[in-house]
Amino acid sequence: MLNSTLPKTIQDILEKQNEPNAVFSSLLAALGEELKCDRCFLYLRNPELKLGKIAHCWRRSPEIPNLIQPEWEPEPESLPKEDPLFAAALRKDTSVYVEDVETANPEVVNREFERKHLGHRALIHSHLVWNNQLWGILQPCIFGNKREWSTFDRTVITQLERELPPLAAAYVQATFNQY
């Protein structure tokens, strides 16, 4: 039994699946439904090589952009300067809950960057840190409307930040150990 603060649908996935790819594939849909989001994606990264990709993406409808990247790509050196959320993740700051990209503090969110690359209006930028390294970013988001993230939303994300980092690291390490 994991933590009873997780919704049963999510808890069941984490208890019954142990292969990272299977967990992530099932989890994003369950998380999107539980948090009533429009899209939920998982960016995974190799912290040593600074390569990353959006490995999994769930969307409520096909009108929402699918961000899946099939190949690992170098993280642009300029990314931490362009995207304060990514910089916060690299610093391993606590996760960031953005209620409205349009009115957020520019030191926290680069509105133009979010519009151009992601298109959402509200988001959770959840940092998956394992052994003091950033292995991934889990990002549930909303399109079109701002969103106040509830205590329930925050509790679920906080618990997932305890459960998912070793799986993210295992996924990345298994991928790069194939070569």
Residue 100 is assigned to a structural domain of this protein: yes
CA 12 vs. chain centroid, Å, equals 20
Residue 2 confidence (pLDDT)? 52
Residue 136 is assigned to a structural domain of this protein: yes
Residue 179 confidence (pLDDT)? 47
Beta bridge partners of 42: 56, 138
Beta carbons within 8 Å of 154's beta carbon, 6+ residues apart: 97
Residue 10, SS3 per DSSP: helix
Residue 28 is assigned to a structural domain of this protein: yes
Residue 26 confidence (pLDDT)? 96
Residue 2 is assigned to a structural domain of this protein: no
Residue 169 is assigned to a structural domain of this protein: yes
What domain count does the chain have? 1
CA distance linking residue 101 with residue 4, whole number of Å: 32
Helices 165-177 and 20-34: crossing angle in degrees, nearest 10, is 140
What is the span of the domain harbouring residue 41?
8-60+72-177
CA distance linking residue 4 with residue 21, whole number of Å: 23
Q: Which CATH number is 100's domain given?
A: 3.30.450.40
Residue 169 confidence (pLDDT)? 97
Closest among 138, 171, 127 to 32, alpha carbons compared: 138
Mean pLDDT of successive 10-residue stretches along the chain, which has 179 residues: 76 94 96 97 97 96 93 94 95 96 90 84 96 97 95 96 96 82
Residue 116 confidence (pLDDT)? 82
The amino acid at residue 113 is: F
Residue 42 is assigned to a structural domain of this protein: yes
User: How far lies 88's CA from each of 28, 104, 171, in Å?
Assistant: 22, 15, 23
Residue 66 is assigned to a structural domain of this protein: no
